[in-house]
Amino acid sequence: MAPVAATSSDSIKPRDVCVVGVARTPMGGFLGSLSSLSATKLGSVAIEAALKRANVDPSLVQEVFFGNVLSSNLGQAPARQAALGAGIPNSVICTTVNKVCASGMKATMLAAQSIQLGINDVVVAGGMESMSNVPKYLGEARKGSRLGHDTLVDGMLKDGLWDVYSDCGMGSCAELCAEKHVITREEQDNFAVQSFERGIAAQQGGAFAWEIVPVGHILSIKFVHFVTYIMCKTKSAITQVEVPGGRGKPSILVDKDEGLGKFDAAKLRKLRPSFKDNGGTVTAGNASSISDGAAALILVSGEKALELGLQVIAKIAGYADAAQAPEFFTTAPALAIPKAISNAGLDASQVDYYEINEAFAVVALANQKLLGLNPEKVNVNGGAVSLGHPLGCSGARILVTLLGVLKQKNGKYGVGGVCNGGGGASALVVELLRKTKDHQRRRGGEERGNLKYRTPATLSIANKSLFFNLPWRHGIQDKGRPLPKFGEWDVNDPSSAEGFTVIFNKARNEKKTGGKIESPGANDPACKQEAVAAKPQKTGARIGSYDGS
């Protein structure tokens, strides 16, 4: 979607909370491909990529709110570690948010509030978790081990997956939910299978390419990725961190959600109940998987978006929290979601798509049932059962996925909801901004200094076909002006949402010069001058979603 000019009276108000950049890492499996990276490193990866995609300099960031639940052994102030690791200045205030599974969403809500109150204009929000790296505790060791055995406590269970009020695992609360709302084992398994099938289809169809920043090192990438990097310098497309291959194998590039590769429907349906021996319905297959990952969103005020000429993907329209008895945390989203919709000034009929965190299949099913939602509008690209559930990350991850769904499905309003341990839930409403037909006809020429320069499509190495996204073919509308050199293109610039696809069809490559195929003129000295003159003028925010289509 190409960016278009907007004024403060045209869709965007000064204190609107605008989403201008998003990114998430792939969801790594438990002790899987991303387990060598700490939660804070994963957070840095997501923040850095989101800032680059948003075209926001780290020096402009005023505050960071970032979710993290399992902070043991991470060191002081995890959010600050993630922020500084992404190049954000030392002067920026950073706050770590722990609202269990809703941490990433609550961090986004706090960031939005700071903008609405006029405290900040540029804020980073999101969440991170590395469940693979949570230590185990010797709880009594500090007091001195005397006669007898010591007890080793799993920090992941103790601080993330255990209900302290009923002294039971969260899965036992899920069993209680299934009993109360009469949701069978078969229904839960069917939902889990659907989650995997939707996730796999989305992955294979390139739906997650818009969200994911591949994690790896330039020396570990495949040949086609290397060509992409050299030609287009897609520095934010490949995050430069070392991801060991394990057992002496070379470093790897991680660009897909790991859990989707382990799906076996037949085995899933045969798994034993995990939390209740007699009559249990919740299994490892219809529960979310333990995972590692991070997600980030760049939020700016409408005033700042207009000032910097940033591309606005969406606005945060409303949000809310809710709470009830701790053992019934599973259905708290059914309370938070209507409140958020009401706070946004909408009614449920106006919502196009929902993302409800699949802590367990029964959670999504119960809330779907209580709210009377159409299943075809809920978690259409899969959810935590198939993708994974890194606790502090998931609230932000579903917001990133929700924006992608709205973009791909031509929706306008979307709602994300997530339950959290202790009986709570958070929900947030987003409004995707789209260009008008008049803007489509103008094709973004006016905000580019009237040179009508069409920038190259955002190149994603996660697309199924790399070659159909390479920016070979020029798209300048003014009598075939030459292109800048490949290395001068920033294919991760959100303004590069249209033009430049490699087309091997001779008819489409020919210019109006008697049928001869001409070079793009990348070596023409005049090319650099025109490319500079053609850069977007920072005179107003631009509406649209950056992608490679």
| Inter-residue contact 103 to 426 (CB < 8 Å) | no
- The residue written with tokens 């902070």 in the block is 71
Report the pLDDT value the prediction gives residue 371, as an integer from 0 to 100: 99
Strands 215-216, 239-240: pairing is parallel
> pLDDT category, 26, cuts 50, 70, 90?
very high
Report the pLDDT value the prediction gives residue 129, as an integer from 0 to 100: 99
Nearest to 67 by CA among 239, 289, 297, 257: 297
473-497 b/e (C-beta count within 10 Å ≥ 16 → b) = bbbbeeeebbbbbbeebbbbbbbbb
Would you give the DSSP letter of residue 168?
Answer: E
What's the CA gap between 113 and 110, in Å, rounded?
5
Nearest to 486 by CA among 478, 474, 498: 474
User: If you average pLDDT over residues 72-90, what whole number do you get?
Assistant: 98
> pLDDT category, 489, cuts 50, 70, 90?
very low
Lowest mean pLDDT among 13-17, 89-93, 488-492: 488-492
User: Which tens digits make up the pLDDT trace of 140-175?
Assistant: 888 887 788 889 999 999 999 999 999 999 999 999
As annotated, the active-site residues are 101, 389, 419
pTM equals 0.79
**Residue 195 reports pLDDT greater than 80:** yes
User: Which tens digits make up the pLDDT trace of 462-481?
Assistant: 333 333 333 333 333 333 33
Instruction: Tell me whether residue 279 is exposed, middle or buried, using C-beta atoms within 10 angstroms of its C-beta: 0 to 12, 13 to 18, 19 or more.
Output: exposed
Report the pLDDT value the prediction gives residue 448, as an integer from 0 to 100: 33
Contacts of residue 143, defined as CB under 8 A and 6 or more positions apart, other chains included, come to none
Q: What are phi and psi of 470, to 5 degrees?
A: -70, 140
Cα(first)–Cα(last) distance of the chain, in Å?
Answer: 7
List C-alpha distances in Å: 245 to 34, 126, 473, 515.
10, 28, 37, 50
Length of the chain: 549
Lowest mean pLDDT among 178-187, 229-238, 239-248, 493-502: 493-502
Report the pLDDT value the prediction gives residue 39, as an integer from 0 to 100: 98
**Residue 290 reports pLDDT greater than 90:** yes
**Residue 484 reports pLDDT greater than 60:** no
Name the β-bridge partners of 380: 382
Instruction: Tell me whether residue 264 is exposed, middle or buried, using C-beta atoms within 10 angstroms of its C-beta: 0 to 12, 13 to 18, 19 or more.
Output: exposed
What's the CA gap between 490 and 51, in Å, rounded?
13
Collapse the DSSP code of 178 into the 3-class scheme (helix H, G, I; strand E, B; otherwise coil) and give the result: helix
Contacts of residue 188, defined as CB under 8 A and 6 or more positions apart, other chains included, come to 178, 281, 282, 283, 286, 360, 361, 362, 365
State the DSSP H helix or E strand holding residue 124, giving kind and residue range, or none if neither. Answer: strand 122-130
Q: Which residue has the higher pLDDT, 341 or 464?
A: 341
Report the pLDDT value the prediction gives residue 19, as an integer from 0 to 100: 99
A 10 A CB-CB count for 217 gives 17
Would you give the DSSP letter of residue 45?
Answer: H
| Inter-residue contact 51 to 114 (CB < 8 Å) | no
What tokens were used for 105?
Answer: 């969403």
User: Which tens digits make up the pLDDT trace of 371-428?
Assistant: 999 999 999 999 999 999 999 999 999 999 999 999 999 999 999 999 999 999 999 9
What's the CA gap between 502 and 420, in Å, rounded?
46
Q: Which residue has the higher pLDDT, 147 or 446?
A: 147
In the chain, the domains with their CATH numbers are 5-133+180-264+284-432 (3.40.47.10)
> pLDDT category, 332, cuts 50, 70, 90?
very high
User: If you average pLDDT over residues 122-140, what whole number do you get?
Assistant: 96
Report the pLDDT value the prediction gives residue 53, as an integer from 0 to 100: 97
What tokens were used for 145?
Answer: 């081990």
| Sequence letter at residue 441 | R
Contacts of residue 50, defined as CB under 8 A and 6 or more positions apart, other chains included, come to 21, 22, 23, 124, 126, 296, 297, 298
Q: Which residue has the higher pLDDT, 436 or 181?
A: 181
Report the pLDDT value the prediction gives residue 139, as an integer from 0 to 100: 85
